[in-house]
Amino acid sequence: MLALDTLHIPTQTLPEPPCSYAQMVRRSSVSTEQTCNRAEPYCMALVAPRPKTRKTMHRLQRYTHFVGIDVSKATLDVMLWHSEQDTLVKAACQTSNDHTGHTALIQWLSEQGAPSQTTVLCLEATGRYDDALLEHLTLCGWICALEKTTALHKVKPEHHRKDDRFDADLLAEYAYRYSDKLSLYQAPDPTIEQIRLLYGERRRLVTQRAAVKQLQAEQGYNRAGRPSQAEAFAERLWSEQRAFYDRQIEALEAQMDALVNSDEGLRHRYEQLKGIAGIGAKTALKWLCLFYGQQHLDARRIASRFGFAPHQERSGTSRHRPARSSGHGASEVRKLLTLCARSAGRHHAKYRRYKERKLAEGKASQLVTNNIINKLIRVVCAVWNADTVFDPAHVSRFAQNAIATP
């Protein structure tokens, strides 16, 4: 069932959307020819607002209707913002979170006069509950923005209210105020989606197989003398389970390889990644699941995203700590890259020499591993961005300058 409720607010005017730079600059009538004085408490008032570029103005004026959608397991709460003669008009509806409700939502937006070309629909990332909705909307030509759950802190005042319609209204306000900063959703490649599904299933089976191996190892330590009848029976079950998991994992890996080989672009990127020293097949597949389709990768942002980039903690003279990584990020990616760094430090001469040198200097083993991970990320991003093959004999320009310097 589709519940409609249109709200007209003739006395409320649309808030002025903040400019990306103008909000940070204090407006003042002071002449812009003056220079900033460090002793002036409001020296930012002397800085002229940066003019909007054509690109920024285009992005700010791109949308005319702003829709916030609060997604739950069973329902969708929708709030539409648009202006009519400088007057804010809101319209709200609630529909079911299924194919029928998604179709009814698009029909309702059309009835409200919201064109798909200039309407942006803002959602919070809620996991699998919004997957079908995003797929349906993008296939129908609607522009969607998927934001973090912390995005509403920018527009939400201090309050004790918590309901779905109120959150949908905040999402619509966020889309209006920060339209030039929205993270527009792009439908993933169908083959990548299949690989992600199989990769997740393989990870689950590997975890269960490891648990069975741990049971077998612990049973051996707990046994005194010959195993009992129950212990021998449990051992046979565990052996059968391990054999079953081995077969299932091999079947999943074969299916993923077939999917990769079915797409020329995927196979090309996969072979590039596997050719890099220290990067194995499973890490290459995970990298494709994360970044396939992107033409340029920023090594610093990726390292910071997964908690490997060292960040300084410095404030005046009272707080000064050595730079350190946060340690936060996707646990699976952190585990894979850590294994890659250990393998590279053991089997590849370049990383092995670096590891031995740093350990001889007294550096901690975890610090050296983290540094090798950052080196691997930079190498992977360089190969990815240049769309080339990894050269094991490559010498960086910094090393070349060091060699050339007498």
CATH of the domain at 8: 3.30.420
90/134 same-domain check: yes
Length of the chain: 406
Q: What's the pLDDT at 213? A: 92
198/337 same-domain check: no
378/356 same-domain check: yes
65/174 same-domain check: yes
Single-letter amino acid, residue 8: H
- Higher pLDDT: 150 or 9? It is 150
167 belongs to a structural domain: yes
12/79 same-domain check: yes
258/118 same-domain check: no
237/299 same-domain check: no
Q: What integer best gives the mean pLDDT of the chain?
A: 81
149 belongs to a structural domain: yes
267 belongs to a structural domain: no
- The torsion region of residue 17 among left (phi > 0), alpha (psi -120 to 50) and beta comes to beta
> How many C-beta atoms lie closer than 10 Å to residue 93's C-beta?
22
Q: How far apart are CA 327 and CA 48, in angstroms?
A: 40
237/300 same-domain check: no
Number of separate domains in the chain: 3
223/329 same-domain check: no
In this predicted structure, the answer to whether residue 20 has a pLDDT above a threshold of 70 is no
Residue ending a domain, among 124, 154, 181, is 181
In this predicted structure, the answer to whether residue 56 has a pLDDT above a threshold of 50 is no
The CA-to-CA distance between both ends of the chain, in Å, stands at: 79
User: How many H-runs (helices) and E-runs (strands) does the chain carry?
Assistant: 13, 8
In this predicted structure, the answer to whether residue 48 has a pLDDT above a threshold of 60 is no
Contact 66, 172 (CB under 8 A): yes
How confident is residue 54, by pLDDT bands cut at 50, 70 and 90? very low
Contact 7, 91 (CB under 8 A): yes
268 belongs to a structural domain: no
Lowest mean pLDDT among 59-63, 95-99, 382-386, 388-392: 59-63
* Token duo for residue 139: 């296939």
Write out the residue range of the structural domain in which residue 398 sits: 288-313+322-404
Residue ending a domain, among 181, 207, 230, is 181
194/156 same-domain check: no
In this predicted structure, the answer to whether residue 298 has a pLDDT above a threshold of 80 is yes
Share of the chain above pLDDT 70, in %: 77
DSSP state, residue 187: P
Reported for 159-165, long-range contacts at CB under 8 A and 24+ positions apart, including other chains, are 164/70, 164/72, 164/75, 164/77, 164/94, 165/70, 165/77, 165/79, 165/92, 165/94
130 belongs to a structural domain: yes
How confident is residue 149, by pLDDT bands cut at 50, 70 and 90? confident
Single-letter amino acid, residue 329: G
Residue ending a domain, among 157, 181, 205, is 181
78/22 same-domain check: yes
197 belongs to a structural domain: yes
Lowest mean pLDDT among 17-26, 134-143, 294-303, 382-391: 17-26
Q: What's the pLDDT at 185? A: 87
| Residue with token string 């309702």 | 108
38/144 same-domain check: yes
Burial of 286 (0-12, 13-18, 19+ CB in 10 A): buried
Q: What is the secondary structure of 85-117 as a DSSP string?
A: SS-EEEEEEEEESSHHHHHHHHHHHHHTT--TT
How confident is residue 317, by pLDDT bands cut at 50, 70 and 90? low
Q: What's the pLDDT at 52? A: 40
- Structure pTM? 0.69
127 belongs to a structural domain: yes
165 belongs to a structural domain: yes
